[in-house]
Chains A and B, each alone.
Chain A
């Protein structure tokens, strides 16, 4: 088997060789069993690659996408996301009562946030608003304990009222929160190795904002139904 030949087998297979080189390879293949076998194997690899079938993920990813749509907006569209609120959640009368409790709990958390942390939507960005020296960027996880406390309070309250909520509603909320928590955890882990990475800081800030938005949105959806 010739390295010179095998190095050209993929180009030969893809018909990327000039005519003269192609003729050289073909002449070699006619006399070299190893290279001929290698070509057949490469052909099988290409065929198998082309026959791979798409597979869906193990879990539905929509719960992690939908909350982000309302905050992402669309380029050239000033009225995004019109229909989602009335469709994603539906409540019976007992569920509305239970959801009312959740609304009170979450509203309390919102008040706490307002009193202790300024406007809930004014959470400081992960990186400083002024451009710091590269080594001075501080990950959000270490920079905003009030946010973490507020989230913890809301999560604790939701846990306490979990049994009173419709299981389907709880499932949706938990699925959303799990997806966001996963993103936060991964961003934090990555930032430990590269704390000055602007992308990672931005990603973490976005995930934390999404978590807060999800909790607040759940409250507003419940409120919209009562």
Chain B
């Protein structure tokens, strides 16, 4: 899986106390109990990534797909990056594979002409984080995916370009548009 070889470490490792040190090795040998420990430790972050990228559509099902894929692939983890970073790249790839089944989405990503017509609603609750999450869901697919990958997950434009099979320029343009829409939400 080529995308797994990308360089940028993005996601901080969850608290060490939450993950037994040998859980990855035991899970790779077929220990389902160890795998469940990994699932428990990483579920919030993986689910949040999937939910934000998909605007909540099929987030639970896709998250399950991520962990089934992890079970299949965990033996190929070599420790070149942190396990958390490796897992999140795997999750991004699972989500993107799903996106690729949606031809309309690809068109949206490249069009983006009407992006400013879909402005998010202003904040309605006192929880700024929740408001922001809600505003994220209202972004057009392409702008949201790139915003989440860049500003939330920390990917670089050239990495996003590789993952989404677009140009780095398109990635920059969509990121800027997403930010411009979201800034209205903060006013």
Contacts and interface: CB of A to CB of B under 8 A. Distances in A.
A128 interface: no
Given A46-B151, A75-B76, A65 B67 contact: yes
A157 to B, nearest CB: 27
A75 B75 contact: yes
A82 B182 CA distance: 48
A65 B33 CA distance: 13
A105 to B, nearest CB: 27
B176 interface: yes
Interface in A35-64: 38, 41-42, 44-46, 48-57, 59, 61-62, 64
Query: Which of A7, A38, A51, A54 has the most chain B CB within a 10 Å cutoff?
Result: A54
B68 interface: yes
B152 A50 contact: yes
B72 A75 contact: yes
B186 A44 contact: yes
B47 interface: yes
A33 interface: no
B132 interface: yes
Contacts of B176: 7, 9-11
Contacts of A52: 48, 52, 129, 132-133, 152
A49 B147 contact: yes
A11 B172 contact: yes
Q: Chain A interface: which size bin?
A: 35 or more
B71 A200 contact: no
Contact of A186 (B58, B67, B72, B187): B58
Interface centre among A9, A65, A66 (most CB of B within 10 A): A65
A42 B63 contact: no
B162 to A, nearest CB: 17
A74 B58 CA distance: 25
B165 to A, nearest CB: 17
Contacts of A51: 129
The range of chain B's interface size is: 35 or more
Contact of A49 (B29, B63, B151): B151
A83 B52 CA distance: 34
Nearest to A194: B101
Nearest to A88: B32
A41 to B, nearest CB: 4
A174 interface: no
Interface string B132-175: 11000000000000010001100001000000000000001001
B72 A73 contact: yes
B77 to A, nearest CB: 11
Contacts of A179: 60, 64
Contacts of B128: 48
B63 A61 contact: yes
A48 B44 contact: no
B75 A82 contact: no
B67 A10 contact: no
Contacts of B48: 52-55
B36 A62 contact: yes
A59 B30 contact: no
B39 interface: yes
A9 to B, nearest CB: 7
Interface of B: 28-33, 35-36, 39-40, 43-45, 47-48, 51-52, 58-61, 63-64, 67-68, 71-76, 101, 128-129, 132-133, 147, 151-152, 157, 172, 175-176, 179-180, 182-183, 186-187
Which 8 A-B pairs rank lowest in CB-CB distance, beginning with the nearest? A49-B151, A41-B183, A10-B176, A54-B44, A84-B32, A54-B48, A54-B45, A56-B44
